[in-house]
């Protein structure tokens, strides 16, 4: 690890916003990404692996990519619970094909790179136990890999410098009215990680929206940078904008990838990891008592913040607000490098 760089492991379910976060961290001068662990979530873990391999290929770096858990800790055990979440999740088709918020493939070549043989969870335990200095971790998918690692080896909580998490909503959800996708996709994993004793900085829906809600003008500014990564990210966000509008904007009916000029979309994972590169991107951070509902009802996976001020010790720092200009300029400066 160079004297100015901090070692970082990224755990992600690489879909669209994960890709932006991964590229930002790979390109940051003060971060040394030593491994990328893939997890189920937006896509299958196999799809996430291929997308992660293609991202390290895009920037020409030899960062090892690992395959992790293909489903959640309780997957398949409670059909009614899954049904409860699905009935609250918005699903639409276009020309008879389901529209998924994340594309199965980023459409980039992997350059012959292949996934490591070691399982992601084993890699996390081994690497954190062997580390002489704390390693930071950015977790921007369901927390299944992280929870499994912390269950296998609770001692690694103290070997993580900061665990940056994209997850939860302070007042709102996205996958369900109160549940955010990463926490809903594995509520038990999120609950375990929040109680692990690791040093947590959580980027919830609202904090991310403050720092990383992108408009068409933002996309055009990124594309104007002209580098390979900037052109890729610009096109990626454009396609994401169409899918978000098609799935979530009542009455939206523009044909695929025709973007409504007035649209906007949040690149959640980028916002959640930006403070790992530049802490000043987060402007309002509060230490709170934070839990996750695992009861399997309508609020399954909801992040529950206890503000009653009773005996419970705060267990997480939550980002309530971000410096939008700083957050967006940081991404542009990184994409300008390659
Ligand atoms: O709720 C947003 C989160 O769910 C992001 O991490 C996105 O990539 C999806 O995993
Ligand atoms: Ca993600």
Look at residue 33 in the predicted model and tell me its pLDDT: 98
Residue 317 belongs to a domain:
yes
Residue 186 belongs to a domain:
yes
Counted domains in the chain: 1
Site to probe by mutation for ligand 1, drawn from 23, 141, 205, 270 as the one with most ligand atoms within 8 Å of Cβ, is 141
| DSSP single-letter state for residue 302 | B
Look at residue 327 in the predicted model and tell me its pLDDT: 98
CA distances from 75 to 48, 71, 199 (A): 18, 6, 27
| DSSP single-letter state for residue 80 | H
Q: What confidence tier does 85 reach under pLDDT thresholds 50, 70, 90?
A: confident
Return the ligand 1 atom nearest residue 41 CA: 10
How far apart are alpha carbons 303 and 265 in whole angstroms? 22
Q: Is 180 in the pocket of ligand 1 (CB under 6 A)?
A: yes
Measured in Å, residue 216 CA sits from the centre of ligand 1 at 21
CATH number at residue 153: 3.90.245.10
Residue 1 belongs to a domain:
no
pLDDT at 217 over 60: yes
pLDDT at 1 over 50: no
Give the chain's length. 338
Q: Is 13 a catalytic residue?
A: yes
Q: Which residues surround ligand 2, an ion (CB under 5 A)?
A: 13, 18, 140-141, 269
- Model confidence pLDDT, tens digit, residues 46-75: 999 999 999 999 999 999 999 999 999 998
pTM metric for this prediction: 0.96
Range of the domain at 215: 6-335
How far apart are alpha carbons 167 and 184 in whole angstroms? 9
- Model confidence pLDDT, tens digit, residues 256-267: 889 999 999 999
Q: Is 18 in the pocket of ligand 1 (CB under 6 A)?
A: yes
CB atoms within 10 A of CB 113: 17
Name the nearest CA neighbour of 329 among 252, 284, 277: 277
Could you say which of 11, 13, 17, 185 is catalytic? Answer: 13
Look at residue 79 in the predicted model and tell me its pLDDT: 81
Q: Is 52 in the pocket of ligand 1 (CB under 6 A)?
A: no
């Amino acid at each position: 690890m160079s004297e100015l760089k901090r070692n970082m492991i990224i755990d992600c379910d690489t879909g669209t916003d994960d890709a932006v976060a991964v590229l930002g961290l790979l390109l940051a001068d003060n971060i040394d990404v030593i491994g990328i662990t893939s997890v189920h979530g937006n896509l299958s873990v196999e799809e996430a692996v291929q997308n992660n391999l293609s991202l390290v290929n895009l920037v020409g770096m030899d960062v090892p990519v690992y395959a992790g858990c293909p489903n959640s800790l309780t997957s398949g055990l409670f059909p009614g619970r899954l049904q409860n979440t699905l009935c609250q999740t918005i699903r639409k088709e276009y020309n008879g094909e389901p529209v998924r918020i994340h594309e199965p493939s980023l459409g980039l070549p992997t350059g012959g790179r292949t996934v490591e043989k070691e399982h992601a969870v084993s890699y996390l335990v081994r690497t954190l136990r062997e580390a002489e200095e704390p390693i930071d971790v950015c977790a921007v998918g369901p927390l299944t890999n992280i929870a499994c690692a912390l269950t296998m080896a609770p001692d690694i909580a103290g070997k993580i410098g900061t665990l940056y998490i994209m997850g939860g909503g302070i007042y709102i959800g996205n996958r369900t009215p109160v549940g955010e996708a990463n926490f809903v996709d594995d509520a038990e994993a999120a609950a375990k990680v929040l109680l692990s004793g690791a040093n947590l900085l959580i980027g919830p829906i609202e904090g991310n929206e403050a720092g990383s809600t992108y408009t068409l003008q933002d996309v055009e500014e990124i594309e104007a940078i002209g580098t390979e990564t900037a052109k890729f990210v610009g096109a990626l966000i454009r396609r994401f904008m169409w899918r978000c509008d098609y799935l979530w904007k009542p009455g939206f009916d523009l044909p695929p990838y025709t973007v409504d000029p007035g649209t906007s979309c949040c690149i959640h994972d980028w916002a959640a990891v930006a403070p790992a590169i530049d802490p000043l991107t987060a402007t309002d951070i509060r230490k709170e008592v934070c839990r996750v509902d695992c009861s399997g009802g309508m609020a399954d996976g909801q992040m529950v913040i206890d503000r009653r001020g009773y005996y419970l010790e705060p267990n997480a720092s939550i980002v309530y607000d971000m410096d939008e200009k700083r957050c967006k300029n940081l991404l542009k400066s990184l994409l300008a490098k390659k």
